[in-house]
Structure 1
Amino acid sequence: MQAGDRIGDRYELTYPVGRGGMGQVWAGFDQRLDRPVAIKFLRQTEVPEDERETAGKRFRREARATARLDHPGVPAVHDLGVHGEDLFLVMQLVPGIVLADHIAEQERLSVGEAVVIAAQVCSVLEAAHAASLVHRDLKPQNLMITPAGVVKVLDFGVAALLSPTEASRLTATGRTLGTPAYIAPEQAQAGPVGPAADLYALGCILFEMLGGHPPYEATNAPDMMRRHLYSPIPIIGEYRSDVPDDLAHLLYCLLAKDPAERPASSGEVHRLLTPFAHGDDKPGSVAERVGKRNFNATARTASAPPMSFQEGLTESRARARELAEDELFVQAAEVLERALHSLPEDEGELLAVEAISVRADIANLLMLAGDFQRARGAFAALAHDLDQSGGQQDLAEECWHQVLVCETEMGQVTSNSLVPPKLRL
């Protein structure tokens, strides 16, 4: 697989975003609908020959399981197909930051922020458990926080639909389902696994968000599973003093060894978490801290091989022009965004002028695509920056005008619209 490859005569690969034991995930573009997508491949050649049929069945069931979960916290499934010897699954491309990375950067999250994230996961689990689906591998690496502040649960369905026979066979070969640091005791013993196992994993994740590390630590998987089975349940209050007693008690119950001693349902956990979700830590504030930083990192990952900014920009403009001529305006805007984020930090005056031009092009492309919300934000941000610098005032005025046009297109015309955007409070 390489950037530019076309899959199913419809999806163009742009850059790889992840790799697992038997597959690979790429960011791409749906050329037919001009939207970014994630394309997940099951590389049949990397699967042991005697497991290929079973792996293919699981992959298809993942698509169907995820597609059945109509919830904003689950990536939407768009397509399923075959490319050469590989199966592929086309899903919503989820921008944002992986929770594991967010915890690593922050060390410990505030109580309110951790609760907001856990509550959103609970909401997803409510929908999944109502559909008789158990995730079985919840962990911070499978949770994304989007720039809009929505928590997305990834990889739903790989283990959820395995039959008891398949689960027993995997356990017998030492391939216990689940990640050791977050695995429920009954899961570690290859016992019956139900919704309570997901609640245990959620408890491990909540403990890690609050304490900065999982509830149990070990140097190898067998020792980790023994700790889940036999070590005393850790008390979060011993690691930080600002966790309310009722929340600490809920966390203790989530980590109960016996599934029967955990809360009765994800709905009950959601209800018990709600009082601890503080206004300052609503999803929007989470997104404000992580959205832009993560987007920039993604853009750098997606960059072409090293070249000067001017060379890259010339190439990107040519590519964006081709895409725009085919009315693929969103894809054209993304090409320019990647070029913009490759701008050297120590930019000279010429590059600063080029950056302004690129930002204006991006805003106009978003407007042509009909994405008036993003276009409005792009025009407003550029106009504000131009006002602050005192440069290109004609362009600044044009951008403020386009802000009003976008608001009109979105039906947001009010009495306040008579006031120029830059003068509004």
Structure 2
Amino acid sequence: MQAGDRIGDRYELTYPVGRGGMGQVWAGFDDRLDRPVAIKFLRQLEVPEDERETAVKRFRREARATARLDHPGVPAVHDLGVHGEDLYIVMQLVRGIVLADHIAEQEQLSVSEAASVAAQICSVLAAAHAASLVHRDLKPQNLMVTPSGAVKVLDFGVAALLDPAGASRLTAPGRALGTPAYIAPEQAAGRPAGPGADLYALGCVLFEMLAGQPPYQAANALDMMQRHLRSPVPIISGYRPDVPDDLAHLLYCLLAKDPSERPTSASEVQQILTSFIDGGSGSVRPPTGTVSNTRVPAAPLPRQSAGHETTELRAWARELAEDERYTQAAELLERVLVTADQAHEHESLPAEVAALRVDLANLYMLAGDFRRAGEAFEELAEVLDRSADSRELADDCRQQAAACRFAMGDTTVPARLGD
């Protein structure tokens, strides 16, 4: 590829931004909308043939995962396509400095600046975790600071939909996704990584911003993972005596070996961090976007759709799901169910409506929204309990709801659910 090449009959390459083992990132220009963009390519022919299918799935998943996050701290995804033998994602072009380079230049960031960067990362993580996404590879190389001081979280390329089964399909046996210097102990041990793994990585990044080096040093990746698993948690005050005790305690908790001993959420960590930003009232503030799972319901279909056309619409939704258009298929069934639920509001749940609701919950799971899927299965189980003929299906729904909780990192769920 070279400057001036056109991609998708609308994007013109301007200059290369970066290159990895399997791809390239170019700055470009969208001539239809008159705006600069970043174009990330997966060079399929440069991927070993036995890894190509996995790499393609991961690349597409990156586009979909990032596109789901409507947050100022995540670059917007504009397009996904194919150019010759290559796949590409068109994204917002972010201008600024990579956090790793910023730390290298400054050696150690001030307490206020480090808290500001970490708080903004927390804002992104809160949105991601609410959408059933965990980044799994948070590190200074995947973070950018813009000239205005805003932080952007990049590369959801290994972001796992909170789905241990899906993660195992996209990971080579015996391999842990993530970067060794920032990997959570549970990831290093090959166990499911929930939101707590991102908080651990955040702790590693915060430690590095304050100390000028990651919390652990090692000669190789295997030794590094062992240190995350077994070495005592380092105390930041031994590197930076000026770090306030409350911030040092927060950092110690973020780096806890056991996920249950870390803070409960990114939002909680963000709230604590804001008090260290210029005394809590400085000009540098994290984004204040709210996180919500609320969705505006689509307009209902005509009432006759709940009758003889329901089978056709259900088949249409399945066709969409086969094309991996899970969100679109779910929205279709939501519209069908608005009418169907109204038609049977004061009756026991008909079998065809129950089947539609099971399909919808399954689509949420396929789309990676395990929070909504679990809620849908639980609600359906409660309705089905009213009918003796539906107890078996109700039990199945509860099993699925429990599987969703397990997928979101609830370790209290019995292991047999994963069998």
**With structure 2 as the length reference, what TM-score do the two structures score?**
0.65
Q: What residue in structure 1 maps to residue 195 of structure 2?
A: 195
* Matches for 1:266-415 after TM superposition, within 5 Å: 266-278=266-278
Measure the CA separation in 2 of the matches of 1:225 and 1:217.
10
* Matches for 1:44-59 after TM superposition, within 5 Å: 44-59=44-59
What secondary structure sits across from 1:26 in the alignment? strand
* TM-fit CA distance, 1:280: 9.8
Contact map agreement 2:58 2:170 (CA 8 A) in 1: no
Residue identity opposite 1:13 in structure 2: L
* Matches for 1:119-268 after TM superposition, within 5 Å: 119-161=119-161, 163-165=163-165, 167-168=167-168, 173-268=173-268
Measure the CA separation in 2 of the matches of 1:100 and 1:273.
20
Measure the CA separation in 2 of the matches of 1:58 and 1:171.
10
Q: Percent identity of the aligned residues?
A: 81
Is 1:36 equivalent to 2:40 in the alignment?
A: no
Which 5+ residue runs of structure 2 have no aligned equivalent?
A: 287-419
Contact map agreement 1:185 1:225 (CA 8 A) in 2: yes
Contact map agreement 2:162 2:194 (CA 8 A) in 1: no
Contact map agreement 2:14 2:27 (CA 8 A) in 1: yes
What secondary structure sits across from 1:25 in the alignment? strand
Measure the CA separation in 1 of the matches of 2:156 and 2:146.
17
* TM-fit CA distance, 1:54: 2.5
Change (3 A) 1:97 1:281: farther
Measure the CA separation in 1 of the matches of 2:152 and 2:144.
5
* TM-fit CA distance, 1:285: 10
Change (3 A) 1:95 1:22: same
Q: What residue in structure 2 maps to residue 342 of structure 1?
A: none
* TM-fit CA distance, 1:132: 0.5
Measure the CA separation in 1 of the matches of 2:30 and 2:117.
30
Measure the CA separation in 1 of the matches of 2:212 and 2:269.
21
Is 1:106 equivalent to 2:103 in the alignment?
A: no
Measure the CA separation in 2 of the matches of 1:56 and 1:40.
13
* TM-fit CA distance, 1:53: 2.3
Q: What residue in structure 2 maps to residue 61 of structure 1?
A: 61
Measure the CA separation in 1 of the matches of 2:28 and 2:265.
37
Q: Which consecutive aligned stretches of 4+ in structure 1 deviate over 4 angstroms post-superposition?
A: 169-174, 279-286
Measure the CA separation in 2 of the matches of 1:244 and 1:77.
39
What secondary structure sits across from 2:135 in the alignment? coil
What secondary structure sits across from 2:134 in the alignment? coil
Relative to its length, the structure with more helix (as a share) is 1
Alpha-carbon deviations, 1:261-284, whole Å to 9, x = none? 000010110111111111699575
> How much is the aligned-residue C-alpha RMSD, in angstroms?
2.0
What secondary structure sits across from 1:246 in the alignment? helix
Residue identity opposite 2:60 in structure 1: R
Measure the CA separation in 2 of the matches of 1:175 and 1:40.
25
Q: What residue in structure 1 maps to residue 9 of structure 2?
A: 9
Alpha-carbon deviations, 1:35-82, whole Å to 9, x = none? 110000011101122322222222112111111100000000011110
Q: What residue in structure 2 maps to residue 371 of structure 1?
A: none
Q: What residue in structure 1 maps to residue 80 of structure 2?
A: 80
Which 5+ residue runs of structure 1 have no aligned equivalent?
A: 287-425
Contact map agreement 2:160 2:167 (CA 8 A) in 1: no
Contact map agreement 2:182 2:205 (CA 8 A) in 1: yes
* TM-fit CA distance, 1:241: 1.0
Change (3 A) 1:163 1:50: farther
Q: What residue in structure 2 maps to residue 381 of structure 1?
A: none
Q: How many residues align?
A: 286
115-124 or 156-165, which deviates more: 156-165
Measure the CA separation in 2 of the matches of 1:282 and 1:218.
37
What secondary structure sits across from 2:118 in the alignment? helix
Alpha-carbon deviations, 1:195-228, whole Å to 9, x = none? 0000000000000000000000111000000100
Q: What residue in structure 1 maps to residue 411 of structure 2?
A: none
Measure the CA separation in 2 of the matches of 1:23 and 1:157.
12
Q: What residue in structure 2 maps to residue 26 of structure 1?
A: 26
What secondary structure sits across from 2:160 in the alignment? coil
